Amino acid sequence: MYMFIALEGSIELGLLYVLMALGVYISFRILDFPDLTVDGSFTTGAAVSAVMITHGYAPLLATLSGFLAGAVAGTITGLLHTKGKINNLLSGIVMMIALYSINLRIMGKPNTPLFGENTVFSVIPEDYFLVIVPVVIIILKLLVDAFLHTDIGFALRATGDNQRMIRSFGVNTDFTIILGIALSNGLVAMSGALVAQYQGFADISMGVGMIVIGLASVIIGEAIFGHKTVFRATLAVLLGAIVYRMVIALALQLNMNAEDLKLITALIVVAALILPKIQKSLGQKRKILERIREVNNKVENNGRDINA
């Protein structure tokens, strides 16, 4: 029973992290832009929504404002990269660090509690959480899918795929990169806003390691559920985020130290990134060895004088 409650909790939390994982999917996979802004913008979304809620704004408005704040942060990262010509990793790191101070400014202190406040979840009867939230998340996923199938969405995908090509058809890639990174961080921040409301507080360090968790979700999802089409890939990311939370819940059940979770996540990502490469190079080596054997056989069959 206790196990079941833990799993249920992890599914609930996983659902809220889906938007973050979708954001990481857009920057990392669609745009091929490893964007570290995420660690900061997740907290930005949480901070903005928490502060607004404590000031009496409607939770939904606070959540959407979280999205906008994240989009602004992403826009600045995009500008640093495209107009400032700063390497994409570095643009994200700089923005992540800047956001730490900005998030503190937004909250005025390292932690903003939401206990007793109205949140977006207050209106959901407890028994319906796992009905209503998944429906909302799936609608948002479908919206992302739809966007990626519009003309602008096509341009965005082609930007991540082949910038030279898409420019030669009239697309300003600076614009598509900024748009994509803004959308990505908007989703990440909205996820932060939801998590803050779910757990009852926003905390300055709640975004730490978020990019790796996002990557882990994307990679786990793609590995288990495949990613042939956009629809399939975003579905995989959605499920990946939930599976990731369940894995973490299980790890905790097995008395693993909570402090080690980030290390475990990092290891999962490293393994997921390296294993396919090792497999591939092993495969290649095998092929080369086979070929060498073939060639050697031929040499032997054609007489030994070649070696003489």
Partner 1 sequence: MLKINHVTKLFNANTVDEKLALSNVNLSLAPSDFVTVIGSNGAGKSTLMNVISGVLKPDDGNVIIDDVEVNKLHEYQRSQWIARVFQDPMAGTSPNMTIAENLSIAYLRGYKRTLNWGLNKKKKHFFKEQLERLGIGLENRLNAKVGLLSGGERQALSLLMATFTKPKILLLDEHTAALDPSRAELISNLTEKVVREFNLTTLMVTHNMAQAIQLGNRLIMMDKGQVIMDIPPSKKQGLTVEDLLHEFTAIKGEELNDDRVILG
Q: How far apart are alpha carbons 62 and 72 in whole angstroms?
A: 15
Of the candidate spans 3-11, 39-47, 145-153, 270-278, the one that interacts with partner 1 by CB under 8 A turns out to be: 145-153
Residue 138, judged by CB atoms within 10 A of its CB (0-12, 13-18, 19+), counts as: middle
List 64, 98, 152, 261, residue binding partner 1 (CB under 8 A): 152
Q: How far is the CB of 151 from partner 1 (least distance, A)?
A: 4
Residue pair 19/179 in contact by the 8 Å Cβ criterion: no
Of the candidate spans 2-10, 40-48, 158-166, 289-297, the one that interacts with partner 1 by CB under 8 A turns out to be: 158-166
Amino acid found at 176: T
Nearer to partner 1, 55 or 85 (CB): 85
Instruction: Based on the shown chain and the rule CB under 8 A, indicate whether residue 238 belongs to the binding site for partner 1.
Output: no
Nearer to partner 1, 172 or 296 (CB): 172
Nearer to partner 1, 107 or 148 (CB): 148
Q: Of 195, 179, 61, 180, whose CA–CA distance to 137 is shortest? A: 195
Instruction: Based on the shown chain and the rule CB under 8 A, indicate whether residue 232 belongs to the binding site for partner 1.
Output: no
Q: How far is the CB of 26 from partner 1 (least distance, A)?
A: 14
12-48: burial string, b at 16+ Cβ within 10 Å, e else: bbbbbbbbbbbbbbbbbbbbebebbbbbbbbbbbbbb
**Cα four-point dihedral sign 128, 132, 137, 138:** positive
Q: What are phi and psi of 138, to 5 degrees?
A: -65, -40
Nearer to partner 1, 16 or 158 (CB): 158
Residue pair 188/38 in contact by the 8 Å Cβ criterion: yes
Q: How far apart are alpha carbons 3 and 9 in whole angstroms?
A: 10
Q: How far apart are alpha carbons 188 and 17 in whole angstroms?
A: 8
Of the candidate spans 128-136, 147-155, 213-221, 299-307, the one that interacts with partner 1 by CB under 8 A turns out to be: 147-155
Q: How far is the CB of 2 from partner 1 (least distance, A)?
A: 44
Q: How far is the CB of 182 from partner 1 (least distance, A)?
A: 15
Residue 140, judged by CB atoms within 10 A of its CB (0-12, 13-18, 19+), counts as: middle
Instruction: Based on the shown chain and the rule CB under 8 A, indicate whether residue 149 belongs to the binding site for partner 1.
Output: yes
Any idea what the Cα angle at residue 153 is, between residues 150 and 155, rounded to 5°? Answer: 115
Q: How far is the CB of 229 from partner 1 (least distance, A)?
A: 9
Interface characters, 164-203, with partner 1 (x: CB under 8 A): xxxxxxxxxx------------------------------
Of the candidate spans 1-9, 51-59, 65-73, 144-152, the one that interacts with partner 1 by CB under 8 A turns out to be: 144-152
List 154, 201, 225, 231, residue binding partner 1 (CB under 8 A): 154
Nearer to partner 1, 37 or 159 (CB): 159
Q: How far is the CB of 171 from partner 1 (least distance, A)?
A: 6
Residues in touch with partner 1 (CB under 8 A) = 147, 149-155, 157-158, 161-162, 164-173
